[in-house]
Structure 1
Amino acid sequence: MLRAGDVVVSTRSKHGTTWLQTILLLLVHGPVDRWPAPLWQLSPWVDHLVEPIPAVVSRVSAQERRRVLKTHTPLDGVPAVPGVWRIVVVRDPLDAAVSLYHQGSNLDRERLAELTGSPSSIAGRAPLEEWLAAWVDEVADPRARLDSLDGVLHHLTDAWGRRGDDDVVLLRYADLLTDLDEQMALLANRLGFGGPEAYGVEWPLLVEAASFTAMRARADHLAPDAGGVLRDPSAFFRRGLTGSGEASVPSPVMDRYRERLSMSLPADLQAWLAGSA
């Protein structure tokens, strides 16, 4: 299925997956108005269960231009194929957990259960602060609970250990927030698209189209809503900020969170994640 030139986006939930897909599809196809299909069709979540696999394979195989594929599987489960790029976006795990919590309220769980054949989980949830405290304290199998803190840390450390591979690119979510233009230019050059000069006068338009405000305005085209599982596609692009995790928990929980990071992440990864390296 994979072929030279493909780009596989491997991220944890709410780590900038759709953002990176949007950036890459802009580099491949140009402005959103010229895309031949919505994001979820052009760049499918290949290991999700809401669409029959043969339908996804058929649609992706028919694409003639460079393809962008999405997975939430860590790189240790993504085949290394010559000529295929693998990209991981790294975000502060607690910030991502806040986004994950709010996304849960936007899911039509009955529709999701209908599509996947799994039982619906519609029980009420704890308040955000309580939920985050339990998320920080939970000790989980990272391969069974991918969106647990252990699952997130496994994804990050595995990618960090592969950062020297020629086909692996690591990006920081915070860098996309602070200098989207530069990060898009670096990515375009690294993947062989050419820098801003290759896109001429369209480059500023592409950068603007990848902004959080622009993506929210085009949620009908950009939200990953295969099967109609989002109650409100525009709410998928909620805020996209940094620091929301620390602002949402009391100091003791934040201390436990930092302790877990220090025990699980190598020092150089901790420094890079914090923006100090």
Structure 2
Amino acid sequence: MTDRKLYLGPLTDSRRWDMVNIRPDDVFVVTPPKCGTTWMQTIVALLLSGDPEVDTELSVKMPWVDIRIREMPEVAKRLDAMTHRRSMKSHTPMDGLPLDDQAQYLCVFRHPLDAHFSYRKHVRNIPMSLFDSFYPEDDIDGITFRRFLDGGAEGFDGDAMPLAHIIQHYRAAVALADRPNVSLFHYADMTRDLPGTFTKLSDLLNISHPSHVLDQLVQAATFNNMKANAERYAPSGGKGFMKSDTEFFHSGTSGKWDGKLTDKEVEAYSVMMDAHLTSEERAWLEYGVKGLSHD
């Protein structure tokens, strides 16, 4: 697809997808950072394998194609050599990805403020200084939240995950949501009903497991189990990439910003959300199905 939007930052490059030969049964997990990417990838890995003890090795077996850390020819060769059903990860919005009529695209979102505060924790847990200007360690002047609100959706800013990038991600997914192979999931809904998430995904991916096996898979994907086995489930877990694999699964909770933002900051966030989203879109992006029921 030649009319894809280009997303090029210091960490990611959407042109890398040009080297991926898409198969009809491929599964793409497409999300802004810290919105449940690893969780959804793990659920997909569990369903594809049917094994609650599967060694997910997400960074190798279900690679993040956009990231520029690994040479793309090596990633493409590894993907081409896979004989099993494949799944890949992307932090590129849907308008920057190659669209196949049969492959499944699973777009996962989370309350933008929860994602933002989770990202704050994440940048302190990885050995990378790219975004220090967005996330200074001693932020007594509130620079981080200002950058979250005024950062652009693309280029360098996009990789630092400002609100504009999250909104662009969401709108690009919504624009394609009428396709039968593009599905939107929300972190809050997954938290409230993890078995229901497994059931929905099983149907989308055309996978069936006996009920007792499915129960074991659901248990494996609970937050407590993934955190307790962080070396297995964290991206590049057990390889020393992060300062702490366990801290990658910091809390899994919502409302992280409560009491941490001023009224003025919350209002500025609200104004920006309302400027770009309808009330229904905002309700879902923040709270999932529960938001729509209270809209």
TM-score, normalised with respect to structure 1: 0.88
Do the aligned residues in 1 keep the contact of 2:46 with 2:54 (CA within 8 Å)?
Answer: no
Q: Alignment partner for residue 180 of structure 1, among 191, 194, 210?
A: 194
Match of 1:116 in 2: none
* Cα offset, 1:84, TM superposition: 0.6
Q: Alignment partner for residue 20 of structure 1, among 21, 33, 40?
A: 40
How many residues in Structure 1 have an aligned counterpart in Structure 2?
265
Match of 2:213 in 1: 202
* Cα offset, 1:72, TM superposition: 0.5
Q: Alignment partner for residue 115 of structure 2, among 88, 92, 96?
A: 96
Q: Secondary structure at the residue paired with 1:247?
A: coil
Q: CA RMSD in A?
A: 2.3
CA–CA distance in structure 1, aligned partners of residues 246 and 141 of structure 2 = 24
CA–CA distance in structure 1, aligned partners of residues 275 and 247 of structure 2 = 35
Matched, 1:145 2:165: no
CA–CA distance in structure 2, aligned partners of residues 160 and 136 of structure 1 = 22
Q: Which runs of 5+ in 1 are unaligned?
A: 111-118
Match of 1:77 in 2: 96
Deviation beyond 6 Å, 4+ runs, structure 1: none
**CA distance 1:73–1:127, shift in 2 (3 Å):** same
Matched, 1:33 2:48: no
CA–CA distance in structure 1, aligned partners of residues 141 and 182 of structure 2 = 35
Q: Alignment partner for residue 247 of structure 1, among 241, 259, 265?
A: 259
State which drifts further: 137-146 or 1-10: 137-146
* Cα offset, 1:210, TM superposition: 0.7
CA–CA distance in structure 1, aligned partners of residues 153 and 108 of structure 2 = 22
* Cα offset, 1:256, TM superposition: 1.2
Do the aligned residues in 1 keep the contact of 2:52 with 2:216 (CA within 8 Å)?
Answer: no
Q: Secondary structure at the residue paired with 2:125?
A: coil
CA–CA distance in structure 1, aligned partners of residues 181 and 265 of structure 2 = 37
CA–CA distance in structure 1, aligned partners of residues 122 and 151 of structure 2 = 22
Q: Secondary structure at the residue paired with 1:24?
A: helix
Q: Secondary structure at the residue paired with 2:196?
A: helix
Q: Which runs of 5+ in 2 are unaligned?
A: 1-20
State which drifts further: 133-142 or 87-96: 133-142
Identity of aligned residues (%): 28
Cα deviation code 1:174-226 (max 9, x no counterpart): 001111111111111122113xxx33311111001111111112221221128
Match of 1:276 in 2: 291
**CA distance 1:52–1:217, shift in 2 (3 Å):** same
